């Protein structure tokens, strides 16, 4: 201990004691997440060595940060510049080093225990864990609060027919014998029993009523939260690089300290609140190209696609979750189990898994309205309708969309999105460009009631409305589409609470805001409603004479809006659908470079064809890669 005291005061003079310039709002605090704290770190990327840990504590201490307890968090008694220290898995290094250090400083902490590990540590845990006797000593200290890290959910389970495994706490188990997935009731019972057992064991062994749940891998969903509350947990911790709010104890984000950072890097990350500006490089890909009725060939296709995507080093793939064999965007079947449409193959989950384990984020590219229900009569009754030439009829538009005004259509879409989110570990959702209503639409019976409130009579054509009536109807349609997407987002959030959402808009909506009348799309509204807006910057499709000038203009228009550049993805086309041929990759690369040089933060392209190397990866990779430069060229 004497050596520890000398070391701490040495670190004090190394780090310095100048007043801090960082500040945090009242009732806002930072939660740091640590794992093993050994003397030396070798191959464990989650470990932080003891010298580095002391340096980090000293930096925070000398810069005026207050180390708070879980009790203060629960009471909402949060001082300015507050930090909560948490430690996962109950490593022996906590008892031998961290606990004495906390006692020396008088700083509180939270220790998360996987109850099944104490007597039976899993083989992949290389460092020794604490004993129940040691945990008992710590629990009685009134300095360290014991939290549950579940009983037996800090592991992976089988979750698809192809044999992939994922986080037990949020995944529906797949049974290969019955070829079925765990039902929601069975899943709910499984995690409920685990939470209850963990809490009871900690009460019996340590004599404490545990108040906090620390989610394994930081993963959770709405069902987890509901069951944790039923068992008696008051506070729940996840993993996310942002500061926590004392008014939301259900989701307390923690910033995980990994890779044993030098103090300079820790300070830099800390000042940036552990978040760095992200510049997205997006590949939008068709799952139809990977699917094959022969499972062996399908796996070969997947391997080639994965290799291409990994070598391209894009930040995310916007992956088609539906089948579009005819290329018309009207969705009759999908690639995941669901209650609404036929499943062509249980494939989406598999591809998402293979990409995500390679640290490539995957967003589910989903139709917003254009699904074709199996029952033809039901499908017709729910479709968008138009009023042309004195007749109300099914819309003649390219996309066969369900009406966003119809409660039943909304219910079907919500079910589809919910089932997709259950099935795959997605990072987010991309709403297809079918989320529009032109000026002749929507005269579905469910919409006519709203139309009458504006026009006085639903038999009055839109063209005969007054300018003010037209404006009100246009705004209502725009609002209705956004409200529908909010319901779809809520359905996804139930199972993927950290999902992000991207709304696809036509370029004209950005260039000419008055075009909202023709699409019921509004760029400014979309910036507020979604995490990102994706502009279809398709020079060929828009028949632009001067593509470079036009692309620059798109970026300049986005700059006029607050967060316009930060939240807008400009997606270029790689295929000329009018001429039915691929665009030269050097031309595509030029377009992307023009966008980046014009200050666009995020760029992407569509389509991608791994079977033909279109676009040419050797040409486009330099622009599309997010890998730190210099990178290996292939």
pLDDT tens profile 424-467 = 999 999 999 999 999 999 999 999 999 999 999 989 999 999 99
Which structure tokens are listed for 279?
A: 């510049």
Domain boundary among 271, 306, 336: 271
- What's the mean pLDDT in 348-358? 96
pLDDT band of 326, cuts 50, 70, 90: confident
- pLDDT for residue 275 is more than 70: no
Looking at residue 269, its pLDDT comes to 82
pLDDT band of 328, cuts 50, 70, 90: confident
What are the angstrom distances between the C-alpha of 464 and each of 44, 206, 390, 461, 473? 70, 76, 12, 6, 12
What is the b/e burial string over 549-565, where b = at least 16 CB atoms within 10 angstroms of the residue's CB? ebbbbbbebbeebeebb
Q: Same domain, yes or no, for 424 and 557?
A: yes
- What's the mean pLDDT in 317-333? 93
- pLDDT for residue 336 is more than 80: yes
Cα separation of 56 and 173, whole Å?
A: 40
- pLDDT for residue 611 is more than 50: yes
Looking at residue 25, its pLDDT comes to 54
Which residues is 181 bridged to in the sheet? 174
575-576 vs 581-582, strand pairing mode: antiparallel
Domain boundary among 251, 271, 291: 271
Choice among 76-90, 133-147, 618-632 with the minimum mean pLDDT = 618-632
Count other Cβ atoms within 10 Å, centred on residue 622.
13
The answer to whether residue 15 sits within a structural domain is no
The answer to whether residue 7 sits within a structural domain is no
Q: Same domain, yes or no, for 291 and 263?
A: no
- Percentage of the chain exceeding pLDDT 90: 88
Looking at residue 22, its pLDDT comes to 40
Domain that holds residue 609: 281-624
Looking at residue 77, its pLDDT comes to 84
Q: Same domain, yes or no, for 422 and 564?
A: yes
- pLDDT for residue 14 is more than 60: no
- What's the mean pLDDT in 495-523? 96
- What's the mean pLDDT in 335-341? 97
Given phi > 0 = left and psi -120 to 50 = alpha, else beta, which region is 81?
Answer: left
Count other Cβ atoms within 10 Å, centred on residue 95.
20
Cα separation of 582 and 614, whole Å?
A: 7
Domain boundary among 237, 271, 305: 271
Q: Same domain, yes or no, for 264 and 324?
A: no
Looking at residue 43, its pLDDT comes to 84
The answer to whether residue 631 sits within a structural domain is no
Given phi > 0 = left and psi -120 to 50 = alpha, else beta, which region is 320?
Answer: beta
CATH number of domain containing 488: 3.20.20.80
- What's the mean pLDDT in 203-217? 97
Q: Same domain, yes or no, for 147 and 120?
A: yes
- pLDDT for residue 376 is more than 60: yes
33: number of CA atoms within 13 Å, CB side? 24
Looking at residue 46, its pLDDT comes to 93
CATH number of domain containing 232: 3.20.20.370
- pLDDT for residue 9 is more than 80: no
- pLDDT for residue 299 is more than 50: yes
- Percentage of the chain exceeding pLDDT 70: 94
Given phi > 0 = left and psi -120 to 50 = alpha, else beta, which region is 202?
Answer: alpha
The answer to whether residue 588 sits within a structural domain is yes
Contact 231, 195 (CB under 8 A): yes
pLDDT band of 19, cuts 50, 70, 90: very low
- pLDDT for residue 152 is more than 70: yes
Q: For the segment 135-150, what is each residue's pLDDT rounded down to a tens digit?
A: 999 999 999 999 999 9
pLDDT band of 305, cuts 50, 70, 90: very high
pLDDT band of 555, cuts 50, 70, 90: very high
Q: Same domain, yes or no, for 446 and 323?
A: yes
Q: For the segment 85-109, what is each residue's pLDDT rounded down to a tens digit?
A: 999 999 999 999 999 999 999 999 9
Q: Same domain, yes or no, for 155 and 59?
A: yes
The answer to whether residue 319 sits within a structural domain is yes
pLDDT band of 278, cuts 50, 70, 90: confident
- What's the mean pLDDT in 488-511? 97
Query: What is the domain count for the chain?
Result: 2
Count the residues in the chain: 634
- Detail the DSSP E strand segments found in 26-102: 28-34, 66-67, 82-88
Q: Same domain, yes or no, for 140 and 206?
A: yes
Question: What are the CB-based long-range contacts (under 8 Å, 24+) for 238-245?
Answer: 238/498, 239/33, 239/215, 240/498, 241/273, 241/274, 241/275, 242/273, 242/274, 242/275, 243/24, 243/28, 243/29, 243/30, 243/273, 244/28, 244/29, 244/30, 244/31, 244/84, 245/27, 245/28
Q: Is 126 exposed, middle or buried (0-12, 13-18, 19+ CB in 10 A)?
A: exposed
Q: Same domain, yes or no, for 591 and 451?
A: yes
Mean per-residue pLDDT over the chain, rounded: 92
- pLDDT for residue 17 is more than 90: no
- pLDDT for residue 13 is more than 60: no
Q: Same domain, yes or no, for 247 and 389?
A: no
Among candidate residues 405, 469, 415, the one with its CA nearest the CA of residue 443: 405
Which structure tokens are listed for 362?
A: 């995957």
User: Cα–chain-centroid distance for residue 410?
Assistant: 23
- What's the mean pLDDT in 613-634? 75
What are the backbone dihedrals phi and psi of residue 353, each rounded to the nearest 5 degrees, phi first? -60, -50
Query: Can you list the alpha helix ranges (DSSP code H) found in 63-179?
Result: 70-75, 92-93, 99-105, 115-119, 132-139
Q: Is the peptide bond before 242 cis (omega within 30 degrees of 0)?
A: no
Q: For the segment 20-76, what is each residue's pLDDT rounded down to a tens digit?
A: 334 345 689 999 999 999 999 988 999 999 999 999 999 999 999 999 999 999 998
Among candidate residues 63, 141, 62, the one with its CA nearest the CA of residue 102: 141
pLDDT band of 325, cuts 50, 70, 90: confident
The answer to whether residue 468 sits within a structural domain is yes
- What's the mean pLDDT in 254-265? 93
Contact 169, 216 (CB under 8 A): yes
Q: What is the pTM of this model?
A: 0.91
Contact 117, 90 (CB under 8 A): yes
Cα separation of 617 and 312, whole Å?
A: 7
Looking at residue 276, its pLDDT comes to 58
- pLDDT for residue 237 is more than 60: yes
Looking at residue 233, its pLDDT comes to 97
Contact 17, 229 (CB under 8 A): no
pLDDT band of 170, cuts 50, 70, 90: very high
Q: Same domain, yes or no, for 326 and 414?
A: yes
The answer to whether residue 612 sits within a structural domain is yes
Among candidate residues 258, 261, 268, the one with its CA nearest the CA of residue 55: 261
- SS3 of residue 229 by DSSP: helix
Q: Same domain, yes or no, for 517 and 549?
A: yes
The answer to whether residue 21 sits within a structural domain is no
């Amino acid at each position: 201990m004497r050596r520890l005291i000398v070391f701490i005061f040495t670190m004090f003079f190394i780090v310095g004691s100048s007043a801090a310039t960082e500040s945090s709002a009242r009732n806002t605090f930072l939660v740091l997440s640590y794992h093993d704290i050994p003397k030396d770190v070798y191959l464990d990327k989650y470990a932080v060595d003891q010298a580095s840990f002391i340096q980090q504590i000293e930096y925070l201490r000398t810069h005026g940060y207050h180390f708070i307890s879980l009790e203060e968090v629960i009471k909402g008694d949060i001082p300015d510049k507050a930090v909560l220290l948490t430690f996962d898995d109950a490593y022996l290094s906590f008892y031998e080093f961290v606990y004495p250090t906390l006692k020396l400083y008088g700083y509180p902490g939270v220790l998360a225990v996987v109850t099944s590990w104490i007597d039976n540590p899993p083989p992949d845990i290389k460092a020794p864990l604490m004993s129940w006797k040691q945990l008992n000593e710590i629990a009685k200290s009134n300095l360290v609060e014991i939290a549950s890290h579940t009983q037996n959910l800090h592991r992976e389970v089988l979750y698809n027919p192809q044999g992939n495994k994922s986080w037990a706490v949020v995944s529906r188990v797949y049974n290969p014998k019955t070829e079925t997935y765990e039902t929601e009731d069975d899943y709910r019972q499984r995690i409920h029993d685990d939470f209850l057992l963990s809490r009871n064991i900690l009460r019996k062994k340590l004599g404490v009523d545990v108040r906090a749940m620390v989610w394994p891998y930081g993963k959770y969903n709405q069902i987890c939260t509901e069951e944790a509350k039923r068992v008696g947990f008051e506070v729940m911790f996840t993993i996310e690089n942002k500061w926590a709010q004392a008014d939301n104890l259900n989701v307390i984000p923690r910033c995980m300290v990994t890779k044993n950072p030098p103090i300079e890097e820790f300070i830099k990350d800390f000042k940036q609140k552990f978040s760095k500006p992200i510049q997205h490089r997006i590949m939008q890909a068709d799952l139809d190209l990977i699917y094959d009725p022969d499972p062996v060939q399908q796996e070969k296709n997947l391997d080639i696609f994965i290799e291409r995507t990994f070598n391209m080093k894009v930040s995310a793939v916007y992956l088609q979750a539906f089948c579009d064999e005819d290329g018309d965007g009207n969705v009759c079947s999908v690639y995941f189990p669901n209650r609404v449409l036929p499943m062509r193959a249980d494939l989406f989950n598999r591809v998402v898994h293979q990409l995500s384990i390679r640290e490539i984020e995957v967003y589910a590219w989903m139709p917003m309205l254009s699904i074709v229900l199996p029952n033809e009569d039901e499908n017709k009754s729910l479709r968008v309708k138009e009023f042309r030439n004195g007749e109300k009829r099914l819309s003649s538009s390219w996309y066969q969309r369900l009406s966003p005004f119809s409660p039943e259509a909304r219910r079907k879409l919500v079910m589809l999105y919910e089932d997709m989110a259950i099935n795959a570990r997605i990072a987010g959702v991309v709403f297809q460009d079918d989320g529009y209503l032109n000026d002749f639409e929507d005269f579905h019976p469910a919409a006519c009631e709203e139309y009458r409130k504006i026009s006085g009579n639903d038999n009055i054509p839109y063209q005969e409305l007054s300018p003010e009536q037209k404006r009100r109807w246009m705004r209502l349609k725009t609002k209705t589409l956004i409200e529908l997407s909010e319901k779809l987002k809520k359905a996804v959030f139930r199972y993927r609470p950290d999902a992000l959402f991207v709304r696809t808009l036509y370029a004209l909506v950005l260039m000419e805001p008055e075009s909202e009348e023709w699409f019921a799309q509004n760029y400014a509204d979309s910036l507020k409603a979604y995490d990102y807006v994706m502009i279809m910057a398709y020079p060929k499709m828009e028949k632009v004479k001067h593509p470079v000038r036009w692309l620059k203009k798109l970026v300049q228009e986005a700059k006029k809006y607050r967060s316009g550049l930060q939240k807008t993805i400009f997606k270029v086309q790689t295929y000329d659908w009018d001429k039915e041929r691929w665009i030269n990759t050097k031309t595509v690369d030029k377009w992307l470079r023009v966008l980046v040089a014009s200050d666009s933060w995020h760029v992407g392209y569509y389509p991608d064809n791994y079977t033909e190397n279109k676009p040419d990866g050797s040409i486009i990779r330099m622009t599309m890669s997010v890998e730190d430069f210099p990178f290996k060229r292939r």
